[in-house]
Every structure is written in C-alpha cells, then in structure tokens.
Amino acid sequence: MSATHRPNPEINLPLHVANLVCVRAGKAMPFTRDEMSAIDKAPIAAPVAVNFMGLTTDEQADRKHHGGPLKAVHQLPTATYEKINTEFDLKVRIGTLGENLTTEAVNGLPEMDESNVCIGDVYQYGGQYGDDKINGEGSVQLRIVQPRRPCYKINDQIGQFTKVPNIAAWVSKQGISGWYFQVVRDGIINADLPVYLIERPYPFATLETLWQLSNSKEKFDAEVIEPWLAIECLEASWKKVLNKKMKKSSVQ
C-alpha cells in the first residue's frame, strides 16, 4: 500500500497521548543578515496565557511569515533534533528551531510526530480525565492546521555555529519540521500538563502523507487529492500546492 493511502487506525477519544514536558517562548533578538529573530526559544518556568495569537510571552520578529492565528503555537518532536544531529554530526539543542511545545509519550503510545498527528486534530493541554470525559476548565485547546515550512532562518540559526549545507531543504524533504496550531480555546499552559487528543475528524490526513504528496514529482488522481481540499481548516497555501498535484484529466 502506498504511503498516500496509509490508513490511520480508528481510536477511541478522548485519549491521553502525552505529557507536556516543556513550554518555550522567545524574544526578538539581533540575528543574521542584519535581521531580528525570535527563533531561539527558552523554557518558561511559570504558567503562561495562550490566546488566538499564541503564547502571550512569545514574540515573532517577522510577522509576515511567522505567528498569527494560523501559526499561533508551534510543536516539534524531539526526534527532529536527533535526526539532524545524526545526519550532520551536530549537537543542536532542543529549543533552537523555534518550537513552543515539547511533549513526551505516555501509556506505551508513540511520540507525537508527523506520522501520527493529523490536520484537524484538536489537542487539549491540561484538564482531568475520568469516566470517559475530560474536565477541561482553564485548559488550552489547539487544532493542527498546517505543517511548518522550514525557511532559511533554520540554516542561519544552525549555521552560526557550524559549516553545514542546506539543512532547511533536508528537513523539508524529510517532512520533520513539526506543525502549527490554531487556538481553539484560550487558557493557561505550563509544563507537566497532560495532553489529550479530543478530536480527529480527518484520520487519513497525517502530516507525513501531506509532506509526501506535496514533495512528490508525480500527479495524483482526484480521489487522492480532493479529500484534502475538502478539509476546511487546512491552511490555504497547502491546498494550493495540493491542487497542483492533481492530474489535469481528473479536474472537473
């Protein structure tokens, strides 16, 4: 079975999938090319408010390409660092690449990564689970709306300390750049909170598959692409990319 048709098994929700082990925010600082950047994120010790624009203590220097309601919060699997460090023989530390949230799997489940999170997934950070219900008062709810597109700032961030080729292109090809959340419900977030998957409307729509479709040199039948175009919350630029991947003969 091709990766573009790999099924995502049905699961019973809500499901405690992880614990939040670190929350990070950054301040805009002088960066490379005479620019400012807040890509370097430091752990936050105290609880922090989250609204539709993200963590209230987090900054983005380039508001045109970073931040905003459809890039409010960024999560990146720690495995991305392991893969980069192994591939390029580096020691890039967690938090270097701009992520706000770091989680750790629980109950024998796999770590949250691009192979098992989906566009449209809603995760709740905080609250208590019992009797098949979650008491989520004060907790934050976040929806995955797009992967992160690696940009030259990843190259510059790592390249400040090493002479490495185009890491951003490699990360993009691997599809391991994490994802952006839209804030569904404002609240307070801090480390050590449980993370619950509470909605999965599009179980076929893993980020891994989205990257494979987007990076492919092939064209696909409408039956492969159209379900993605019907995902209301998928950020528009990704739909534009996918639409170009559909065979012309399949377009009505």
Question: What is the per-residue pLDDT across 28-85, written as a single tens digit (0 to 9) for each?
Answer: 776 667 676 777 899 999 999 999 999 999 987 566 666 799 999 999 999 999 999 9
Q: Would you state the pLDDT for residue 161?
A: 59
Contact assessment for residue 99 and residue 76, using Cβ atoms and an 8 Å cutoff: yes
Contact assessment for residue 201 and residue 186, using Cβ atoms and an 8 Å cutoff: no
- Whether the bond between 43 and the residue before it is cis, its omega within 30 degrees of 0, is no
- Whether the bond between 14 and the residue before it is cis, its omega within 30 degrees of 0, is yes
Give me the helices (H) in 103-199, please.
152-159, 167-174
Distance CA 183, CA 191 (A): 18
As given in the structure block, the two tokens for residue 4 are: 């573009």
In sign, the C-alpha dihedral spanning 89, 169, 71, 6 is negative
Q: Would you state the pLDDT for residue 127?
A: 87
Q: Would you state the pLDDT for residue 157?
A: 81
What is the Rg, in whole angstroms, of the alpha carbon atoms belonging to the chain? 18
26: left (phi over 0), alpha (psi -120 to 50) or beta: beta
Contact assessment for residue 46 and residue 56, using Cβ atoms and an 8 Å cutoff: no
CA distances from residue 94 to 41, 42, 204 in whole angstroms, order as listed:
9, 9, 29
Q: 187-242 pLDDT, tens per residue?
A: 999 999 999 999 999 999 999 999 999 999 999 999 999 999 999 999 999 999 99
Contact assessment for residue 13 and residue 121, using Cβ atoms and an 8 Å cutoff: no
Q: Would you state the pLDDT for residue 208?
A: 98
**Would you say residue 10 has pLDDT above 80?**
no
Q: Would you state the pLDDT for residue 234?
A: 98
Distance CA 227, CA 127 (A): 33
Q: 109-147 pLDDT, tens per residue?
A: 999 999 999 999 999 999 876 656 676 777 999 999 999
Pick the more confident residue, 115 or 1. Answer: 115
As given in the structure block, the two tokens for residue 126 are: 């905080």
As given in the structure block, the two tokens for residue 37 are: 């950047």
Q: Would you state the pLDDT for residue 40?
A: 82
Contact assessment for residue 178 and residue 208, using Cβ atoms and an 8 Å cutoff: no
**Would you say residue 252 has pLDDT above 70?**
no
**Taking the domains of the chain in order of start, what are their residue ranges?**
7-203
As given in the structure block, the two tokens for residue 243 are: 């639409």
Domain 7-203 coded CATH 2.40.33.20: yes
pTM (two decimals): 0.90
Q: Would you state the pLDDT for residue 129?
A: 67
Residue 8 — pLDDT band, cuts 50, 70, 90? low
Q: 168-185 pLDDT, tens per residue?
A: 999 999 999 999 999 999
Q: Would you state the pLDDT for residue 249?
A: 67
CA distances from residue 243 to 50, 81, 192, 218 in whole angstroms, order as listed:
33, 31, 40, 12
Residue 2 — pLDDT band, cuts 50, 70, 90? very low
